[in-house]
Chains A and B, each alone.
Chain A
Amino acid sequence: MRTIRGRLLVLLTLGMTALLLVGGVVVWFVVRSSLRDGFDESLASKAGLLVASLQLEVLPEHQQRITRLGASVLADLDEKGSAGVDLTERDELLLLAKRGFRVRLVLDPDSFPEYRSSSRPEYFEVSLESGDVLVRSGSLAGTTLGSWHGPAEWNLRDVTLPDGRAGRAIRVRVGNVKFADKLWSQAWSRIRGEARLPNTTAVVLVAKDLGDVEAALSSLRIGMVAVGLLVVAGAALLIFLVCGRALHPLRQLRHQLLDLDAAALRDRVHLDQTPPDLAPIVDSLNEGLARLERAFRRERRVAGHLAHELRTPVAELRAITDVARRWPEDQELRRRCVEQGNEIARHMGRVVSALLRVARAQSGECELETAQLRLDSLLQGAWERRGAAAKRRGQTFLMRGATDLSVDGDPEVTRAILTSLLQNAAEHAPEGSAIEGLLRRDGAGVELSITNPRDTPEVEAFNAAGDLPWNDDSASPSSGQPGLGLPLVAELTRASGIGFEVEVLSGEFRVSLAFPSSA
């Protein structure tokens, strides 16, 4: 597959070449037609000259007698003849003329030297329509131009000249050749009633080679091809440069995309001058990059949370196995280690199960179950599971508000969320303090807030984007309780469609859950 620049170059060059070709052909034909028309006009002019030079004359033997009569005799004859007067010698001559007044066509070939040229001669031939040649040019040297019949007075056609050259000929039918002498013309008119060639029509053929026209056309062809090639080459270069400049934003886009990798997902595509037609693509790419960055960041965050969540149980497990291996003879120690190992394994199993549940729900592989749940029962159960550790620290848990409210949710996930929140609250609350759970209706849903006193002086900020900066503190599953860190709780609530909000107040820490619907 060629590059866009390459494709544009090829297509535009081909298109331009085709246009030039068509244009050249049209121009060539127009010029050719024009040249041939000019040639034909020139040929017709030559023929017209010949026709104009063609004259009638009385046969010489008759001419000598009749000439002597003179113009006055003819005039008298006309009057006397009409009046029935006696014929004189002059009348006899006239009668002779009446009987044998014969004429002939005459043309002086010497008046047309171009028809005698030895180099590229031209040809003419005058004949009667019957085929009898009256006169022909010296260039023909006894050969003939041949003859053809045409309906019109003037006919043109391409011919092969006697010397083999390509040429063009014109055929002119001449029916009204005039007498060379006005006197004879008048006499012929009186006798025959018209001053035209008697009983026949002359045919004039003129032929000339097309060498000049063909040479001009050949020059034109060569010139057009040369200019066309130059234009195509120049156009290709211009297209190449213009396309390069016009496609600069695409090239810039390509380079920026090539530079992008998983480590540079914060970068965005930025073109110096984004063309309007590329702007939607750039916007879509940047949106895609932003989504990808969020996905990667979330993946890293979840992986970090998971690693942290499992780090402490793994440390416990390793310490237990190390100690058990070091004193294998101590049965009591061994029994305790096995019990603790089992508890740790169950805890890690719960973490993995919850994470898998979230992951599958988010990827659409499965849906979370929905059941009607009494939150106060779940909270009390979760508190009881914390059991000994809370009692040892003298902590209590108080439920307030509308304690009979129920919500729709996945039992396992909701239980994991509540247990974790209570565990975290108890761990961060001072000894002897009370942890408070408040249930209240919030529109169509139910809001649960768990508040614990907090004597840690530092104040953390909550990142609304879902990053929980105190996750290191909160993610520690301590005291042997099956709890999850706040970051993983946040992931669970997000996957379950439960609102999750954290408030760090003066001396208090509050987590609020907004359940979307209640029964």
Chain B
Amino acid sequence: MRLLLIEDSVRLCETLSAGLSRVGFAVDVVSDGPRGLSYARLNPYDLIVLDLMLPGLDGITLLRQLRAGGCETHVLILTAKDRVQDRVLGLRAGADDYLVKPFDFDELVARLRALLRRRYGKKRPVFELGTLTLNSAEGSARCGDRAVDLSPREYTLLELLAYRSGETVSRIEIEDALYGEHDLPGGNAVDSAVCRLRSKLGELAGGPRIRTRRGRGYALVAGP
């Protein structure tokens, strides 16, 4: 899932970017307000993590302009401002969640995953695809009692296809969800990722299968 991190602390950007990438997010990092607004308008992000105290353009103004422009991306405000009126102001400006610094990294990830479920209209963190059980809260997949060994990127791909189970997901959408602006994927990177995940799913008895819709993309369907 593709995430935009708008945060002026370079150290925090680096840390969060490294951590979030490892749990499967494709992270783009921006350190000032004007560029953050520009990135959010131009790219189809699943989530935006927004600091309020930004050089150039403060987070609240950025958020208001974003919502005024019709952007529906879920936004989590991550800030040192901890007063109630600040939280109310942020939520009223269009934020979907609010987290105060200092924060727990696991809490941040859990909140981001919760926002993802909201994005795809899911309430339950666990959903089953045949014998495969996907836990979006933990970011893990199991087949029966056995954990399925997936890389963060494979899990993200499986989660994307699972969220849109039965639908055809285009190669572009998959690429946007898996790779950040600095990842520079190769021409067949999406195909390779789908191939690896398909292979792992094929080993699971009764698990879901990935079908290729020629010229349109891929779809996750129930297993045989």
A contacts, CB < 8 Å to B: 308, 311-312, 314-320, 322-323, 326-327, 330, 333, 336-337, 340, 343-344, 389, 393, 427-431, 455-458, 472-473, 476-480
Contacts and interface: CB of A to CB of B under 8 A. Distances in A.
Contacts of A344: 11
B102 A478 contact: no
B223 to A, nearest CB: 32
Q: Which of B53, B57, B106 has the most CB of A within 10 A?
A: B53
B14 interface: yes
Contacts of A336: 14, 18
B8 A319 contact: no
B8 A322 contact: no
Given A430-B34, A472-B53, A479-B31, A319 B12 contact: yes
Contacts, number: 101
How many B residues are at the interface, by size bracket? Answer: 20 to 34
Contacts of A319: 12, 15-16, 19, 102-103, 105
B5 to A, nearest CB: 11
A485 to B, nearest CB: 10
Nearest to A330: B22
B105 A308 contact: no
Given A318-B102, A326-B22, A428-B56, A340 B31 contact: no
A326 B19 contact: yes
B105 A322 contact: yes
Interface in B50-97: 53, 55-58, 61, 80-81
Interface in B2-60: 8-12, 14-16, 18-19, 22, 31-32, 34, 53, 55-58
Given A322-B104, A473-B53, 20 more contacts: A312-B101, A314-B101, A314-B102, A315-B9, A319-B12, A319-B103, A336-B14, A340-B15, A427-B55, A430-B34, A430-B56, A431-B32, A455-B57, A458-B58, A472-B81, A473-B58, A476-B53, A478-B8, A478-B55, A479-B8
Contact of B101 (A311, A428, A430, A431): A311
Given A315-B102, A323-B19, A308 B55 contact: no
Contacts of B8: 427, 476, 478-479
Contacts of B103: 315, 318-319
A304 to B, nearest CB: 11
Interface of B: 8-12, 14-16, 18-19, 22, 31-32, 34, 53, 55-58, 61, 80-81, 101-106
Ranked nearest first, the 3 interchain pairs of A and B with the lowest CB-CB distance are: A322-B105, A315-B101, A323-B19
A480 B12 CA distance: 9
A428 B55 contact: yes
A326 B106 CA distance: 9
A456 B31 CA distance: 15
A333 B18 contact: yes
A308 B15 contact: no
11 contacts: A316-B12, A318-B102, A319-B12, A320-B15, A323-B22, A336-B14, A337-B15, A340-B14, A429-B55, A430-B34, A476-B8
Nearest to A424: B55
Contacts of B56: 428, 430, 455-456
A311 B102 contact: yes
Nearest to B7: A478
Contacts of A316: 9, 11-12, 15
A29 B80 CA distance: 92
A337 B17 CA distance: 12
Contacts of B9: 312, 315-316, 476-480
Nearest to B105: A322
A343 B14 CA distance: 14
Contacts of B102: 311, 314-315, 317-319
Given A312-B101, A320-B11, A322-B104, A327 B22 contact: yes
The CB with the most chain B CB atoms within 10 A, among A317, A330, A478, is that of A478
Contacts of A480: 9-11
Contacts of B57: 455-456
Contacts of A323: 15-16, 18-19, 22, 105
Contacts of B19: 319, 322-323, 326-327
A478 B56 CA distance: 13
Contacts of A317: 102
B139 to A, nearest CB: 11
